[in-house]
Amino acid sequence: MPLELSRLSRDYIYFNIDTPNDLTSSQGEATFLLAGELPIEDDWNAADIIDEAGSWVLRILVGPNSGVVTDSIDLTPPSEIPLDYQAWVRITDNPERPVRRPGIVTIE
C-alpha cells in the first residue's frame, strides 16, 4: 500500500533499513521519481540515518517549501494530482553502497 501525502503537507518520511550492520558513520540518501525512471547521481538528496531502539531508519523531509529545511526535497507536482512516485534509498557504507526501492509515495 502506498504512502499517501497531501500536496499541502510537509512531513518526514521514514524508511526502515533491514541490516545487521552498524550504520552510525554511514551516509543516507533518498530520491522520488516517476514510474520507470532510474535515479542518476544528481537525483539523490541527503537523508538522516537514525537508530531507533536498535533498528535503523532513514528519514527525509518532503513537501512544499521544504527547501527552507536542510536535507529536504519538494515532491509537489505542478499540476496533475494524485501522482505516484517511486521512492529510492541509498546507503553509503564502506565498502557497500546498496540501493533499494522501499515503496510508492502518492501525492494528492
CB 19 within 8 A of CB 56: yes
Summarize pLDDT for 51-104 with one digit per residue, the tens.
998 899 999 988 776 543 444 566 666 667 788 889 999 999 989 999 999 999
* Structural domains of the chain, with CATH: 3-107 (2.60.40)
- Which pLDDT score, from 0 to 100, does residue 29 have? 95
Angle at 59 between CA 95 and CA 11, to 5 degrees: 160
Cβ contacts of 55 within 8 Å, gap of 6 or more: 16, 17
Q: List the grid coordinates of 19.
A: 541490516
**Per-chain mean pLDDT for the chain:** 85
Q: What average pLDDT does this structure show over 28-44? A: 91
CB 58 within 8 A of CB 46: no
What is the enclosing helix (H) or strand (E) of 38? none
pTM confidence score = 0.85
